């Protein structure tokens, strides 16, 4: 595993942790940090025994968004091919389950990164918001698209137009946060949740993720066909035989991801 400056990354059993590590800048995303996240993800993708990738933030912040100090140096041409948007697309399409663990501020690009993950866990003191229009820019890394699918047009417009932060209870009520967790139980609860994912067949999770994500963009009959084709493929996997056999034999399945 390479050593990065802006990101801590390590593997613990089948979990791969990516911790945003610029606490002095409230974990704002500088270019190097985004490159490091991409490299860490590429490493996690290649490790067969990694089953879940977990994003967290060092200190009492998840992430405060793009590094505002870099924005004035960015040209319109660079903004046309934004690193952040392409990184978050990579995260959204990532073949393994991803979980964002939020403890503290989750703003702008931080909220968009969380939206690109499959599940979100947050502490009660966390705060969420999309303050980009105060800076003269928009949430340009899935905030006007992926996030709208997740929490709806009206709520995204409210967050963008007013620029106010919302608390964790509201974020849970609108379906952005899956689990609210006490700060002192955070690590334990993350591991409990992640372990439940690791007990499932990896290929089944991968196909389920693709089917679920594509549904909103395709007609129902095409979605059903995608579901059928995915299922037919899964019926040819060793893990499907193992899962069914383990149930019949009343034991835990041992999945190998094939
Ligand atoms: N970028 C750079 N530095 C930051 C950022 C940031 N996003 N947020 C905080 N910091 C730094 C501060 O400058 C400060 O550093 P220093 O001590 O050196 O002055 C340190 O972190 C602590 O910040 P504060 O003193 O402001 O701490 P507070 O507790 O008073 O406030 C807040 C915390 C509310 C989080 C406040 O810092 C804040 O409002 N931050 C900015 C949040 C924001 O506007 N985020 C959106 C950024 S834009 C974005 O994400 C998408 C842009 C799309 C670009 C697309 C390109 C193509």
Strands of the 105-107 sheet, one edge to the other: 61-63, 105-107, 127-129, 166-167
Annotation says 183 is catalytic: no
- Mutate which of 68, 84, 144 to test ligand 1's pocket (most atoms within 8 Å of Cβ)? 68
Q: Can you tell me the distance from the alpha carbon of 167 to that of 56, in angstroms, rounded to the nearest whole number?
A: 18
pLDDT tier at 1, thresholds 50, 70, 90? low
Kindly state the percentage of the chain with pLDDT values over 70.
99
Token pair listed for 220: 């129902």
Annotation says 112 is catalytic: yes
Q: Is the CB of 52 under 6 A from ligand 1?
A: no
Mean pLDDT of the chain: 96
Q: Is the CB of 99 under 6 A from ligand 1?
A: no
How high is the pLDDT of residue 216?
87
Architecture per CATH, 202-248: Orthogonal Bundle (1.10)
How high is the pLDDT of residue 240?
98
Are 23 and 61 a contacting pair, CB within 8 Å? yes
Are 155 and 174 a contacting pair, CB within 8 Å? yes
Distance (angstroms) between ligand 1 centre and the Cα of 75 equals 20
Token pair listed for 256: 């190998």
Cα angle vertex 212, ends 209, 216, to 5°?
A: 140
Q: What is the pLDDT of residues 52-100, one digit of tens each?
A: 999 999 998 999 999 999 999 999 988 887 899 999 999 999 999 999 9
CATH of domain 7-198: 3.90.226.10
CA distances from 24 to 135, 157, 202, 257 (A): 21, 30, 37, 40
Q: What is the pLDDT of residues 107-151, one digit of tens each?
A: 999 999 999 999 999 999 999 999 999 999 999 999 999 999 999
Are 85 and 39 a contacting pair, CB within 8 Å? no
Distance (angstroms) between ligand 1 centre and the Cα of 253 equals 46
Phi (first) and psi of residue 14, to 5 degrees? -95, 15
Q: Give ranges for CATH 3.90.226.10 in the chain.
A: 7-198
Token pair listed for 10: 């390590």
CA torsion 161-61-76-34 (nearest 10°) is: -140
Q: Which atom of ligand 1 is closest in space to residue 109's alpha carbon? A: 50
Q: Is the CB of 160 under 6 A from ligand 1?
A: no
Catalytic residue chosen out of the listed positions 112, 153, 182, 249: 112
Distance (angstroms) between ligand 1 centre and the Cα of 238 equals 48
Q: Can you tell me the distance from the alpha carbon of 219 to that of 15, in angstroms, rounded to the nearest whole number?
A: 35
Q: pTM here?
A: 0.96
Q: Give ranges for CATH 1.10.12 in the chain.
A: 202-248
- Mutate which of 26, 61, 144 to test ligand 1's pocket (most atoms within 8 Å of Cβ)? 26
């Amino acid at each position: 595993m390479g050593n990065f400056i802006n990101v801590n990354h390590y593997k613990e059993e089948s979990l791969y942790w990516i911790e945003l590590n610029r606490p002095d800048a409230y974990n704002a995303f500088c270019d190097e940090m985004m490159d490091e996240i991409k490299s860490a993800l590429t490493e996690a993708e290649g490790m067969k025994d990694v089953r879940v990738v977990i994003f967290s933030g060092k200190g009492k912040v998840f992430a405060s968004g793009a590094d505002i100090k870099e924005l004035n140096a960015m040209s319109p041409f660079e903004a046309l091919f934004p690193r952040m948007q392409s990184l978050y697309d990579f995260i959204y399409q990532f073949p393994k389950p991803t979980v964002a663990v939020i403890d503290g501020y989750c703003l702008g690009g931080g909220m968009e990164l969380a939206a690109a993950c499959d599940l979100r866990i947050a502490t009660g003191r966390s705060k969420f918001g999309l303050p980009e229009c105060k800076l003269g820019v928009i949430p340009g890394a899935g905030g006007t698209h992926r996030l709208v699918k997740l929490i709806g047009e009206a709520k995204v417009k409210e967050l963008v137009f007013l620029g106010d932060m919302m608390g964790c209870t509201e974020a849970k009520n609108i379906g952005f946060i899956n689990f609210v967790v006490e700060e002192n139980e955070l690590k334990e609860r993350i591991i409990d949740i992640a372990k439940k994912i690791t007990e499932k067949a990896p290929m089944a999770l991968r196909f389920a993720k693709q089917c679920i994500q594509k549904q909103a963009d395709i007609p129902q009959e095409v979605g059903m066909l995608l579901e059928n084709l995915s299922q037919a493929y899964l019926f040819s996997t060793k893990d499907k035989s193992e899962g069914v056999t383990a149930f019949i034999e009343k034991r835990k399945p041992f999945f190998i991801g094939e």
